[in-house]
Amino acid sequence: MFGRIALLGFGLIGGSIARAAKAQGLAGEIVTTARSEKSRQRVRELNVVDRVTENNIEAVKGADLVILCIPVGDCGPVAKEIAPHLKPGAITSDVGSVKGSVVREMAPHLPAGVHFVPAHPVAGTEHSGPDSGFAELFVNRWCILTPPAGTNPAAVEKLHTFWTAIGAKVEVMTPDHHDLVLAITSHLPHLIAYTIVGTADELEQVTSSEVMQFSASGFRDFTRIAASDPTMWRDVFLANKEAVLEMLGTFNEDLAKLTRAIRRGDGEALFEHFTRTRAIRRGIIQIGQDSAAPDFGRPHPSLPPVPKPYSGE
């Protein structure tokens, strides 16, 4: 599909694209970058890509598809750095969780004759680093493309085909709409998870070890996304400030409403709310975006050996 693919960055997303593209045979050659010598050494050992380099310019030379797989705050500077070295006709894309700011910061640097097709694969885990990726990460997940007006339709089509080939379903929308959608489906949930995990960690009345010990009652679910990559998430909140603050405003109003119901002992309002929220989970399971297994399918160890029978029986 592509003679050469350059992936700038080999973390969870870059590493998963590399593994999936290799498994599906989508590139004659895959080149990647990694910042530290330690990471480059690890990438070599993993034997997924054909070449790993420290140098962005060297990586993009001659590449037919260049994907920036780096924190969104780095996209502008890297676009500026690589722009003069991009192959004419190459597709340049990214995987950033924010699209408005990435488009604003990358587009001005990219030369005519290079096709800019910003992308966001809506998939991930809480892990990061060269070992965290896997070829199946994008299967059955959505990849959102936000091509600026006037982008070459053939380039959009080709990137669409690429993402489909590694298992994703593709949707096209504007950067602004993307940023609103992700503010509620991803950024606000992460902010809230990061907040409550921090709150629990700093309480005076309850120790951290108690919090961990009794976390299976709900709290542990929040710790997963609050363990996500700090650099990536710092950049997301800085880059999608307005949409996040807007969603946060609505969330705060709703939390105030439920708080009032608790304070007043309004069981009916609580019951009504708690009944309504069940439907959205059913919908998510129906469209295949989560497992129907209880507790996300977490494993349950077997019962201990049967205790000695009570002497009275």
Restricted to residues 127-166, the positions that interact with its own copies (CB under 8 A) are: 127, 132, 134-137, 139-142, 144, 161, 164-166
Please report whether residue 216 would count as binding its own copies according to CB under 8 A.
yes
| Smallest separation (angstroms) from its own copies to the CB of 37 | 23
How large is the C-alpha radius of gyration of the chain? 23
Distances, alpha carbon 165 to alpha carbons 19, 21, 84, 160, 276, in Å: 12, 8, 30, 9, 37
Task: Choose the binding region for its own copies from 32-40, 83-91, 101-109, 231-239 (rule: CB under 8 A).
Answer: 231-239
Q: What is the 3-state secondary structure (H, E, C) of 194-217?
A: HHHHHHHHCCCCCCHHHHHHCHHH
Task: Choose the binding region for its own copies from 42-50, 106-114, 149-157, 238-246 (rule: CB under 8 A).
Answer: 238-246
Query: Contact letters (x/-) for its own copies, 88-107, by CB under 8 A?
Result: ---------x----------
Task: Choose the binding region for its own copies from 43-51, 74-82, 85-93, 202-210 (rule: CB under 8 A).
Answer: 202-210
Residue of 218, 222, 220 whose CA lies nearest to 190: 222
List the interface residues with its own copies, window 40-79 (CB under 8 A): 73
Query: What DSSP state is assigned to residue 125?
Result: -
Query: Contact letters (x/-) for its own copies, 8-37, by CB under 8 A?
Result: ------------x--xxxx-x---------
The nearer residue to its own copies, 111 or 249, going by C-beta atoms, is 249
In 10 A of CB 50, how many CB atoms? 15
H helix or E strand, kind and range, residue 159: helix 153-165
